[in-house]
Amino acid sequence: MASSPSSLQVFGLRLGPGSDLLKSLQDFVVQAGLRAPFVVSCVGSLTSARLRLANATATNTNEVLELSGRFEIVSLVGTLNPEAHLHLCLSDSEGRCVGGHVLGNLSVFTTAEVVLGEALDLSFSREMDPQTGFPELVVEKRDRD
């Protein structure tokens, strides 16, 4: 289902070594009062990540990959409403890639340069979807503050 077009606001962040990427993004969203935030771009590196793999279901959530080492962030996409829904792709020192649904433990190695967007005319929330068994995105039109 398509939603209405929305005006856009953009924010740039740089996180330093040792920062928790997910927590830092969630904290920024709360502090800035964003209601429909999403990741536009992210480049940088991590030393750890916890990802849920594609084979997981609502009843089989143990398909989890714990990563430790040095990884380049190849892609980070998703929404950052109160229950963030992010997917991450990382490459290792040999260029091999792995990705999945972000569960946490995203520790920045050297930097994370992030561009966030907010749809100013929309509001994002999540509601449990009985068909998928997961909280899924709900997009609502909002009046401009």
Distance CA 76, CA 81 (A): 15
- 117, part of any domain: yes
Domain that includes residue 88, residue range: 10-141
Q: Considering the domain boundaries, does residue 46 fall inside one?
A: yes
pLDDT tens per residue, range 50-95: 999 887 666 776 789 999 999 999 999 999 987 899 999 999 999 9
Q: What pLDDT sits at residue 81? A: 82
Instruction: Please give the Cα distance from 11 to 29 (Å, whole number).
Output: 10
The pTM (predicted TM-score) of the whole model is: 0.89
In a domain, 79, yes or no: yes
Look at residue 134 and tell me if it is in a domain: yes
What confidence score (pLDDT) does residue 133 get?
Answer: 86
In a domain, 71, yes or no: yes
Residue 55 domain-assigned (yes or no): yes
Residue closest to 4 by CA, chosen among 141, 144, 107:
141
**Which CATH number is 98's domain given?**
3.30.1330.80
| Spatial distance between the Cα atoms of 109 and 121, rounded to a whole number of angstroms | 35
Residue 120 belongs to a domain: yes
Does residue 3 lie within any of the structural domains? no
Number of domains into which the chain is organized: 1
